């Protein structure tokens, strides 16, 4: 999952990013509205967490512009004071959720995941494929009921593949979902590496990752 955090208070931002990155969400940080616009043009995000009060303007303005352009990316608003009026107008602008500062990190993560899930169209959060059950919120993968330990990156990659099962995911798309701009300079080779590691762990599960040379990878259930 690729997330954009727009927030000017550095310590809040850092705490959030550390937390989210640790659980496998690739985060980019923008500290102004302008910066955020740049990021948004550069690449698509799965979720945006947007502070309202920013040095060069209001987060709500950015939100309005996005919606006016037809961008439907889920947006969670953040702010310190949140009157009932603020709340209503924010939601009316097309925000999907909001959180009042100070907030609990765990709550933020849970809500972000909920937004992502909703976007993906998954009702439940447990996915069964072959002999695998995958639970993105609990971060647990089971093979025939037995837990399989996955590292952060392995988990993120598997989640991307599972959510797009049956479709070919180009190496670029996987790369975008896995790494943020901070993880600069990571080679594309890393994807191949993790694909290999995942394959080992998925062995004997009726689920396999197919390679399509020059196109990407595709996760499928054995016939």
Which pair of structure tokens corresponds to residue 52?
Answer: 């309202």
- In the complex, least distance from residue 87 CB atom to DNA, rounded to whole angstroms: 34
Which pair of structure tokens corresponds to residue 80?
Answer: 């310190």
Q: Does 69 bind its own copies (CB under 8 A)?
A: yes
- Closest CB to its own copies among 19 and 206? 206
Q: Does 182 bind its own copies (CB under 8 A)?
A: no
Alpha-carbon span 33 to 60, nearest angstrom: 10
Q: Does 212 bind its own copies (CB under 8 A)?
A: yes
- Closest CB to its own copies among 124 and 187? 124
Pick one of its own copies, DNA, none as the site partner of residue 125 (Cβ within 5 to 8 A by kind).
its own copies
| Window 145-174: contact mask with its own copies (x via CB under 8 A) | --x-x-xx--x--------xxxxx-x----
The residues that touch its own copies, with contacts defined as CB under 8 A, are 64, 67-70, 72, 88, 91-97, 118, 121-131, 135, 137-140, 147, 149, 151-152, 155, 164-168, 170, 210, 212-216, 218, 220-221
């Amino acid at each position: 999952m690729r997330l954009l955090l727009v927030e000017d208070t550095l310590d809040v931002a850092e705490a959030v990013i550390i937390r989210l990155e640790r659980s496998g969400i690739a985060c980019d940080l923008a500290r102004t509205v302008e910066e955020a616009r740049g990021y948004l043009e550069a690449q698509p995000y799965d979720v945006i967490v947007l502070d309202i009060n920013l040095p060069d303007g209001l987060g709500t303005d950015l939100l309005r512009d996005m919606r006016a352009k037809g961008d439907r990316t889920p947006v969670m608003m953040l702010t310190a004071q949140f009157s009932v009026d603020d709340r209503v107008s924010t939601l009316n602008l097309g925000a999907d959720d909001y959180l009042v500062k100070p907030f609990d990190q765990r709550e933020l993560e849970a809500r972000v995941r909920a937004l992502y899930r909703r976007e993906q169209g998954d009702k439940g959060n447990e996915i069964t494929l072959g002999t695998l059950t995958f639970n993105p919120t609990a971060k647990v993968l089971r093979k025939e009921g037995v837990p399989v330990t996955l590292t952060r990156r392995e988990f993120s990659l598997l989640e991307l593949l599972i959510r797009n099962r049956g479709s070919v995911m180009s190496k670029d798309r996987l790369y975008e979902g896995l790494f943020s701009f901070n993880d600069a300079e990571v080679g594309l080779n890393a994807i191949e590496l993790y694909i290999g590691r995942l394959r080992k762990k998925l062995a004997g599960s009726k689920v396999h990752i197919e390679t399509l040379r020059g196109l990407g990878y595709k996760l499928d259930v054995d016939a």
